[in-house]
Amino acid sequence: MKDKVVIITGGSSGIGKALAEVFGKNGSKILITGRNPVELDNTIFELRAHQINASGILADVSREEDNKKMANEAMRVFGQIDVLINNAGITMRALFEDVDLAVIKKVMDINFFGALYATQSCLPEIIKNKGSIIGISSIAGFRGLPARTGYSASKFALNGFLEVLRTEMLHKGVHVLTAAPGFTASNIRKRALTKDGSAQGESPRAEEKMMTAEECAQHIYNATVSRKNILILTGQGKLTVLLNKFFPVWLDKLVYKTMAKEDNAPIK
């Protein structure tokens, strides 16, 4: 990855920030996007303090024009695009019967359409350089989770898009990776949307028991270097995907029981 230009959407915190660090420390040139100017500036400062060649741009992935600006900025600053990591994402927590459908639309706009906009904006350069497109999906993209209607639907859609893109790029030398972390310690659950669109505020899960964002990022970096197609992380994640394939009805009950143990779970 040395001297490769890597764009990371939503790169100012969590897994995105950890990805910027691991790719940057291995010699990549980094462009990150974010919606919070303070977080974005602080992250750029930290990356540069580690001697990482990093730049940032304020951008909302759910806006098609912002993604075009992002690609143009990468070309202006670095002159090429080799890797796009579709990392920007948001989650939600509410039963479908209770949720305002505007919440699900917002999640889809960021998690799914954001990846489409960013990929199409960067694709010509990535085809030219035979680079990589990476989608940060989730185990929820393989197995739907109760009270995560919008999140699960967006990740299922992302998985389908990446599978199609991988097939279309088969003879163009472009690598497409679907990366599905299990539960990973990050701020995504604190910013999760509730049924009315307000932020959840606190994580309902024990963050300290999860894989760290740094560990997750290292796995994704390794999978990018080896041009792997699908990466499913954590033992729990791998077991969930496997069991759902062969015992879906039984897993419905197990997933329900597991998710009902969360603090203030919408299901009981």
Active-site entry in 117, 151, 221, 256? 151
Answer for the pair 184, 137: CB distance below 8 angstroms, yes or no: no
Q: Which amino acid is at 128?
A: K
Cα R_g (the chain), whole angstroms: 18
Judge whether 266 lies within some domain: no
Q: How many domains does the chain have?
A: 1
Examine residue 214 and state whether it is found in any structural domain, yes or no.
yes
> Does the residue 265 lie in any domain?
no
Is residue 227 within 8 A of residue 132, CB to CB? The reply is yes
d(CA 138, CA 149): 13
pLDDT at 202: 66
Segments of the chain scoring below 50 in pLDDT:
none
Active site residue 151: yes
| Contact (Cβ atoms closer than 8 angstroms) between residue 260 and residue 209 | no
Q: Is 35 exposed, middle or buried (0-12, 13-18, 19+ CB in 10 A)?
A: middle
In a domain, 163, yes or no: yes
pLDDT score for 228: 98
Q: Which domain holds residue 85?
A: 5-259
Q: Considering the domain boundaries, does residue 194 fall inside one?
A: yes
In a domain, 85, yes or no: yes
Residue type, 83: V
Q: Is 193 within the bounds of a domain?
A: yes
Q: Does 267 fall in a domain?
A: no
29-54 per-position pLDDT tens digit: 999 999 999 999 999 999 999 999 99
Q: What is the pTM of this model?
A: 0.93
Q: How far separated are the first and last CA of the chain, in Å rounded?
A: 47
Could you tell me the maximum CA-CA distance found in the chain, to the nearest angstrom? 53
Question: The domain that contains 155 carries what CATH number?
Answer: 3.40.50.720
